[in-house]
Chain A
Amino acid sequence: MTGIALSTSDLNKKFGSLVVASDISISLPQGARYALIGPNGAGKTTLINLITGMLSPDSGRIMLGTEDITAVPPYARVKRGLVRTFQINTLFPNLTPLEAVTLAVCERRGEAGVWWRSLPSYKEAADEAYAILNTLRLGDLCERPTRQLAYGQQRLLEIALALAAKPSVLLLDEPAAGVPKEESGELFAAVGNISSDISILFIEHDMDVVFRFASRIIVMVSGRILVEGTPSEISANEKVREVYLGSGHG
């Protein structure tokens, strides 16, 4: 059976007179790979902020599975399996990747509030963190402070931190942002290797990547959903070509 992993209904958000989200209704089936595209300022990251609770909507509802999470604080949404990554590296510069991912694993296991036991005694958490780092090829860098990692490796660590929370729904905000095109392949290989049990909604500008990875595409323009459809529907859509793909991509 394929249920709906995540859905929003009629989400609205304004900053003063600026409408950043207008009647956004999406639904992401379990295990799906959806892409969210649109020109800069279309409100894609805002939508992720709304879904994860970093912004609260003026109206509308957000459902994770069958649970209404509209009023649930951001950290508690993560505990329920709704996890995101950031377009701009949002990491812990002076922690090593092993420490950072172990922290995230401990948090998921409900162990990160324990102050009377020594961290190294959490063998399972450390092993799991190391395994996650290894699948993203960060294993042999796990002892370096994060700030010393190359930019692309930091992008991978973004994903590692999200995976450590064992998401059921993963929102990837431009996973390859800032990575040169020739190097972004490794990042998307990593994204491609993510378990198919996890539903993914990702923002991406590179159309080749979008068409390769997404089963459906949602196109946003000025805080609204312009159209949603399969890659072939989207590439054939006149309105999309007009507003988004434009002459440059045509």
Chain B
Amino acid sequence: MSVQTHDAALPASLNPQDVLRRQVRWRVLEIIFWLATLLPFVLTPDYLVLCSQVAIAALFALSLDLLVGYSGLISLGHAVFFGFGAYTAGLIAKHGWGEPITGLAAAAFAAAVLGYLTSFIMVRISHFALIMVTLGLCLLVFELANQLHDITGGDDGLQGVRMWPIFGQYKFDLYGRVAYIYTLVVLFLAFLAVRRIVNSPFGLSLRGMRENQRRMPAIGVPMRSRLQVIYVISATFAGLAGGLLAQTTQFVALDALSFQRSAEVLVMLVLGGAGRLYGGLIGAIIFIVARDQLADMNPQYWYFWLGLLLVIVIIFLPNGILGGLAHLLSRLRSRRA
């Protein structure tokens, strides 16, 4: 029988479990990347405040990557969860509970609840409808926060956020040392969680939905409930990022909920490369650092350079900077082989 002869010809060493394991193991570059996040303490100690902003934006972009990069969904209103988390953390601290860790957990939980409530609509629509509804939801909550001036401070932002020291020991300092350690630790833990999620069977089913929505029901996947889960998870991490911003800056501006914030996080993800875990992180680094440097030179002009960068990346590196690097690496490797 032909099947048997073929079996005999197979390399005996191929173990499917090892093949899958190879996909998820830690790479050297990853370890280098995370070690490098400690460099600012030594190299640029004056920029730790900026570094916190990068870490927060990176976490926010990571949360969006779960939707855009892994599940093939699109959102133009992801700031709604970010802002909701920010206001939750800010309000709790303002009204007398300044303990950071529980406050952060509350921010993530609040965003998760909002994510769960809205997920019933989101999993029923796709493409343009989804873009419009996510955008609409974000605008809606933005205006709501603007109107509820007594609670949120409206346009003036939420003042009077007072944080207690972390573990009752480490006070948030002016140089942002503690804030950067705090955001970095939260980012890293969140990253570990997200990494596990995308490397789980559930994560594989997300990629399946991204690759082919038509096939998924035909192998028995209940897509709506699967999408609902990732929607809630993504909202949770976005809320976590928002909470971090409120706590480390001890202030919440209305723009935490703005359309601009939703658009910027999408830009970071596209710059870095969606669906690669590190894309959002790299994109956040480039975006925040470029904004800081370029806005220093000429505040009004910075969007020109951002626009230029975006156009160049999209034209020459349609899969983002990481996508381009991966392509380059695989070409080099195949040339050597």
Residues of A bordering B, CB below 8 Å: 52, 54, 73-76, 78-79, 83-84, 86, 90-96, 98-100, 102-104, 106-108, 111-120, 122-123, 125-127, 129-130, 134-135, 137, 139-140, 142-143, 161-162, 164-165, 189, 193
Contact = CB atoms under 8 A, between A and B. Distances in A.
B14 interface: yes
A92 B211 contact: yes
Instruction: Tell me the interface secondary structure of chain B in the complex.
Output: helix
Given A112-B205, A126-B16, A86 B2 contact: no
B124 interface: no
A117 B201 contact: yes
Given A74-B217, A108-B220, 7 more contacts: A107-B220, A113-B205, A115-B196, A118-B199, A119-B201, A139-B7, A165-B219
Interface residues of B, number: 42
A interface secondary structure, majority? helix
Given A95-B208, A126-B17, A140-B10, A119 B199 contact: yes
A84 B220 CA distance: 11
A113 B24 contact: no
Given A78-B218, A112-B201, A118 B24 contact: yes
27 contacts: A54-B217, A74-B217, A75-B220, A75-B221, A76-B220, A86-B214, A86-B218, A104-B219, A106-B204, A107-B205, A107-B221, A113-B225, A114-B200, A115-B201, A118-B24, A118-B196, A120-B17, A120-B21, A126-B20, A127-B16, A134-B7, A135-B3, A137-B6, A142-B19, A161-B215, A165-B219, A165-B220
Interface string B133-158: 00000000000000000000000000
Contacts, number: 160
A143 B218 CA distance: 23
B222 interface: yes
